[in-house]
A and B are shown apart, each in its own frame.
Chain A
Amino acid sequence: MTDLAHIRNFSIIAHIDHGKSTLADRLIELCGGLESREMHAQVLDSMDIERERGITIKAQTVRLSYQARNGESYILNLIDTPGHVDFAYEVNRSLAACEGSLLVVDASQGVEAQTLANCYQAIENSHEIVPVLNKVDLPAAEPERVKEQIEEVIGLDASDALMISAKTGQGVAEVLEALVHRLPAPKGDQAAPLKALLIDSWYDAYLGVVVLCRVVDGVLRRGMKIRMMAAKSSHLVERVGVFTPKGVQVEELGPGEIGFLTASIKQVADTSVGDTITDERRPAQAALAGFKPSIPVVFCGLFPVDAANFAELRESLAKLRLNDASFQFEPETSAALGFGFRCGFLGLLHLEIIQERLEREFNLDLITTAPSVIYRLHLTNASVLELHNPADMPDPGRIEQIEEPWIKATIMVPDEYLGAVLKLCEEKRGEQVDLTYAGNRAMVVYHLPLNEVVFDFYDRLKSISRGYASFDYQLAEYRISDLVKMTILVNSEPVDALAIVVHRARAEARGRQLCERLKALIPRQLFKIAIQAAIGGRVIARESLSALRKDVLAKCYGGDVTRKRKLLEKQKAGKKRMRQVGNVDIPQEAFLAALKIGDD
């Protein structure tokens, strides 16, 4: 157990690519947490997806032993935070376990929207914040301008910001000193009953559920019987340990310390993040504040390309959920796509990550339907229905009114792209709340309907700003809106998986785009195909795909029979990947068209 005065708990707040993981690597290296042969880039991003995308999804923690220049040894606990808006919730719980943060800003890029949002969260958590300008060795670095921006936009004193290059290691030693001298030590009472915050939990194939926690008061020991105050469950602690970043077992964790425990807990769903862990025999009087639970806001259908893989998909989803209690799934049946699941996610990135992990780690081919949000339907019989799936929309005659979720979005963008960003927000039915400048960057705040954002907002924003705009949002409110269900018909047959809920004013344009895109994506077939978009019985857009005229092998002799048969086998397999609607084969890409439509 370390005395409180020699513990510092901190997070790193940074935008994607601003160098958070590299800085973490350097800190671990300097404190000798890993032998150099064990070092590889981005030590804390353990999932392949995290390394490839350069993002952090799950919070990770590492305990560093630092011999400071004043001759004293300190324990520095770094809790890594996800940088993306979808995981804002996880950021919050990481921040809640620390007393301070390093705010890492790229010295040429400046402050981005997510940095801002995360930084405000740190301020709300009463953090001491140390600004760090990274990549100061690059020719494009403008540290003075970025310092000014930090002061103007965030309102933080940046006069003694640290100047570093995580890549070369320049200035990193100063970061360690700053942690010791500028961040406060944690407070806590070792003699009080145990009170520990459950920060995160995940499933490990060997250990079962691993619980990451921060001890606030008292001592957590191996062999202790603990009680989860909200979950009202008891467990016997089997292991207590810390991450260096390797897991190392210790006897006990005292106030201010961060570490893990295992206690024969079978699934992640049995542990509730934000819960207070206490001593079964000497429980704490009151629980810690905790956090509000994260709720899915974006929904889509996931269907196996090959219907035979349904059971496998179910098992895989269940396995993923062991480690990620924030996504939900329930069985769904589609006339076009067969059996699958309706899944709920924290956001679009979360959706993409789950989809990618299913395809990569579980080797599943999936069809994903267009993302939808939760609509609140007020029915004529005075009941309220939460609609997760456009296909389930009741008859319009039964609906009194529909409400849709709106978000408050913050966008940071260099001023040359501001016009295009404002146009995009207006087009997406947005309402401007605020527009301010800091240097040559604008900060725009808009209220936007979430269903417009899940449609193609990210892609469009990225392309119109050449990747320079950053975006962050939070759910704001539900508002009544003139929404309709638009159906897509292929040869007069409705395709349930392509139904979307859309604002009436946007329906025609959306319908036309969708029909055009489908025309381009559905391969020409032996018969002419009519593609229509309709609201109720009224067709609002139509396209037709003419019949195929030529597709034949010019030469087919003795040796080609085998080749031709193999080709046919391939075509059969390809057909399996397609879905039949009426007599038309629709490739799975077409089902993603609803998502990908854009002007660019």
Chain B
Amino acid sequence: MPALGPDGPSVLPGGFGLYVHWPFCRSKCPYCDFNSHVREQVNHGRWRRALLAELAHFAARTKGRRLESIFFGGGTPSLMAPETVAALIEAAARHWSFAPDIEITLEANPTSAEAQRFAAFRSAGVNRLSLGVQSFEDAALRFLGRGHDAAEAEAAIALARRHFPRLSFDLIYARPGQSARAWGGELDRAIGLAADHLSLYQLTIEENTGFAGAVRRGDFTPLSEEPAAALFELTQERCAAAGLPAYEISNHAAPGAASRHNLVYWRYGDYVGIGPGAHGRLGIGGMDGGENRDGARIATRQTRKPEAWLERVETAGAGTEAEETLSGREQAEEALMMGLRLTEGVAQARLETLLRAPLDQLIQPQRLARLLAGGYLDRSETRLVATARGRAVLNTLLAELLA
């Protein structure tokens, strides 16, 4: 089998994964701008059939590929019927071949109700759980609009560790007024409870969320840049010291324990995205023997609104809202945007293959030289890497590189 390492002789650079979006939540969290919706009733049978139909649609266009990961995201996929999860995994196994060590992740909320279904999800084939813990402080959980408390979260973590071979959980930090001392304490507690993976996100205020309105009304002020930067640095240091170094801007893992699914995104692999609002990237230069012999890559986007998606799948077989063929330059830009999030960076050869031109056609040499000299980028013979300092300002760094 081809190596999965960044420079390995993989014939399918970046790998191949499947993303399944479950768009429903019990309630909408004020920080979340994901495609999530609250509905009183969900017809699970109908949704299962639709997801399976869309899966078949995309499988027909990516025949012969070997699947390295499946990720159930949302929304709240732990609200899915375990039978739906099982049916989708079984169908994926029929459509494609599975890598022997395939990673199958499901996102879950750590409420006691959902924890009761952990065993069923495990039986369905899920081998990695990603828990939305968000905080170990009850007051913070209330602020974040979460439906669980710290004790429930801890119990869910313990239960998940018994059921699943691999476990990760998420925390949200850099909350309004959060001190380095407070976050340090919470982070230590997280590290103590963690298995081999942690996702640590700084709170950002996204448009069209409850928090965006609250900030506009002056209900609270987001943490400003300087303290947020200090908390980010503290996080990097403390996790590294605990054996969970950052492998991506917000993700930390013990060696070998990185999320393989998310690496597909960051290494700019191929992925099928099904369910409302899911995105996909399909087809690399004739590899699939299918529709993309010229090396074009297709960006797919499914209809966002759940009911509209459902209707589209039922009438047309897929809920695709738009497909866009990406140019070589766009692909190289996306590969760079994603690759620089990783501590391993991005291979120059990969960028040049996508671009079908030397790197200086993507990045102005004098700009690159300036950013290297300024300590924002590192460059080995084969790879371009954003330093810790560079990753903290990646938006500006990318604009500087590509604009």
Contacts and interface: CB of A to CB of B under 8 A. Distances in A.
Contact of B250 (A551, A555, A558): A555
B279 A583 contact: no
A575 B399 contact: yes
Contacts of B292: none
A360 interface: no
A556 interface: yes
Interface string B274-300: 000111110000000000000000010
B311 interface: no
Interface string A570-596: 011001000000010000000000000
Contacts of B371: 526
B376 interface: yes
10 contacts: A526-B376, A527-B370, A550-B225, A550-B392, A551-B225, A552-B395, A558-B280, A562-B279, A565-B330, A572-B403
Contacts of A571: 395, 398-399, 403
A527 B333 CA distance: 23
B395 A558 contact: no
B122 interface: no
Nearest to A552: B394
Contacts of B262: 557
B337 A565 contact: yes
Contact of B392 (A525, A549, A575): A549
B279 A552 contact: no
Contact of A568 (B35, B264, B333, B376): B333
A549 B226 contact: yes
B400 interface: yes
A526 B374 contact: yes
Nearest to B201: A554
- Give the most central of B35, B228, B281, B337: most A CB within 10 Å: B337
Given A550-B225, A558-B265, A568-B398, 19 more contacts: A526-B376, A526-B397, A526-B400, A549-B392, A550-B232, A553-B395, A554-B204, A554-B250, A555-B250, A556-B341, A558-B279, A559-B273, A561-B279, A561-B299, A561-B334, A564-B334, A564-B337, A571-B403, A572-B402
B338 interface: yes
B391 interface: yes
A575 B337 CA distance: 18
B271 interface: yes
A558 B393 contact: no
B350 interface: no
Interface residues of A, number: 25
B105 to A, nearest CB: 12
A550 B333 CA distance: 21
Contacts of A554: 201-204, 249-250
Interface of A: 525-527, 548-559, 561-562, 564-565, 567-568, 571-572, 575, 583
Interface string B293-333: 00000010100000000000000000000000000001001
Nearest to B231: A550
Given A526-B376, A551-B394, A565 B403 contact: no
B370 to A, nearest CB: 7
Contact of A549 (B229, B249, B281, B334): B229
Nearest to B395: A551
Interface in B380-397: 391-397
A571 B337 CA distance: 13
Q: Which 3 pairs from chain A and chain B are nearest by CB?
A: A549-B229, A559-B279, A550-B229
B58 interface: no
A571 B396 CA distance: 9
A552 B249 contact: yes
A526 B403 contact: no
A525 B391 CA distance: 14
B47 interface: no
A575 B399 CA distance: 9
A515 to B, nearest CB: 22
A554 B398 CA distance: 15
A329 B403 CA distance: 33
A568 B333 CA distance: 9
A123 to B, nearest CB: 55
Interface residues of B, number: 48
A549 B223 CA distance: 14
B309 to A, nearest CB: 14
Contacts of B393: 526, 548-552
A554 B223 CA distance: 14
A558 B273 contact: yes
A571 to B, nearest CB: 4
Nearest to B273: A558
Contacts of A552: 249, 391-395
B70 to A, nearest CB: 12
B247 interface: no
Contact of A557 (B265, B392, B395): B265
Interface string B227-268: 011001000000000000000011000000000001011000
Contacts of A583: 370
A441 to B, nearest CB: 41
Nearest to B394: A552
Nearest to A558: B265
A554 B19 CA distance: 20
Contacts of A564: 334, 337
Contacts of A525: 396
B222 to A, nearest CB: 12
A527 B370 CA distance: 10
Contacts of A553: 204, 249, 394-395
A583 B371 CA distance: 11
Nearest to A564: B337
Contact of A559 (B203, B250, B278, B400): B278
Contacts of B202: 554
Contacts of A527: 370, 374
A526 B330 contact: no
Contacts of B273: 558-559
B25 to A, nearest CB: 16
Given A549-B229, A561-B337, A568-B403, A555 B280 contact: no
B376 A559 contact: no
Contacts of B249: 552-554, 556
A564 B374 CA distance: 24
A575 B403 CA distance: 7
A114 B334 CA distance: 60
Nearest to B34: A559
- Give the most central of A550, A554, A559: most B CB within 10 Å: A550
A423 B310 CA distance: 71
Contacts of A561: 265, 279, 281, 299, 334, 337-338
Contact of A558 (B19, B330, B402): B19
Contacts of B301: 562
- Give the most central of B265, B278, B396: most A CB within 10 Å: B396
A572 B301 CA distance: 24
A549 B341 CA distance: 16
Nearest to B250: A554
Contact of A565 (B333, B374, B392, B400): B333
Contacts of A549: 225-226, 229, 392-393
Nearest to B225: A550
A553 B338 CA distance: 11
Contacts of B203: 554
B367 to A, nearest CB: 9
Contacts of B265: 556-558, 561
Nearest to B371: A526
B204 to A, nearest CB: 5
A567 B333 CA distance: 12
Nearest to B266: A556
Contacts of A568: 333, 337, 398-399, 402-403
Interface in B82-124: none
Nearest to B203: A554
B303 to A, nearest CB: 13
B399 A550 contact: no
A565 B204 CA distance: 19
Interface string B184-209: 00000000000000000111100000
